[in-house]
Each structure stands twice: as C-alpha cells, then as structure tokens.
A and B are shown apart, each in its own frame.
Chain A
C-alpha cells in the first residue's frame, strides 16, 4: 500500500524568503503526485500535480515541485513567500489502478512579516 510522509509538521519563514516543503512517498510503481493547500476552515485547492514527463512541475501561485524517483521525493518550493501563503500544505499520492488519494499529515506554514 502507498504512503506519504511529510516530516515537517510546522514551518515558519519570513515573508520574501524561499520555501521548501518536504514530501516522501512509498509506492511500488510510478506514482501520481499532488500538492494541495488548505486555508483554515476551507477545502483543499490543488497547487500542482505530477503524472509523467518533466520532473519539474509548475503550479499556481508561483509554486513548483520536483519529482525525484531515486529519493522517492516530491518537494514543494517557492522562491519568495508571501504572507498570504500561510496555510496547511498536503502532499498526496494516487495510483493508476485505484483512484483514492493517500495524504500526508500536512505541514503548517506560518509566514512572519
């Protein structure tokens, strides 16, 4: 069965600083990988996804993520964080034969001014 690990429960960065959120997955075949963002009391919004092809994917709001098969990682990055990026970020993995998503436990991002 697939699993996702987000090792950082809480991260604080200054506005304007760069950001990297870590995600490691466990799955025997090529995974389908996603990053979602959740603001307090809200649903989840898809930031970006990886299915195949170029391992560096671009998403909305200036986010990008890089799939590294050798490290079983799909880390999310942003070169310059804005105060509005403060939220909870979830990494998820899907498979080709089952459509359910398996989520990590999330990383809460706090942005200081």
Chain B
C-alpha cells in the first residue's frame, strides 16, 4: 500500500518568514496530492492540491510543488501570519478503478507555530 512520509513534525517560524513542509510517497500510481490544515478541535480543511500532471500550483501565499520522478511534494507558505498556526497534513491518493472512490493516505502531520 501507499506510504507517505512528512517532515518536519514541528516547525516554528517568525511572523513574515516562509515555511516549507516536505512529503514523500511510495506508490507511483498515486496521482492526487492534497494538503489539509487542521486547527485544534476542527475538521481538516483542504487548502491546496496538485495533480500528477502539474509540477507547481500557487494560491496567494500558498504554493505546492510536485516532483513525480523523485516522488516528493512540498508545501510552501510565504509571509506567514499567526493564523497560519495549525497542523498541516499532506496526503496521496489514487482512484480505486473498480469502485471509483479514492483512498487518501495521510502523512503524520506538521505542527506549524508562527511566532508574532
């Protein structure tokens, strides 16, 4: 099955600095890589995703890069703000060709703290 490794497990940055979280996956059939932000006691919220036919995607202060050959993808947050503090999970997914549903395999998460 798929295995997703995520680093670092904790990350502290000063407000305004950039934060980078890295993930690797094992299954070359995985073709969809979402990133979720989860604040304490709340649901995981999709913040950005990338599909395997794209190398980079950006949405305002957030960007994701994907290297299919190396099987790794990264989340970049620029100009960090205190409200960016949360746990971030990467995930890898591929479609179950029979049922049409998707199995997300999550990384272990990164606790990001943005220090004002």
A pairs with B: no
Give chain B's interface residues, CB within 8 Å of chain A: none
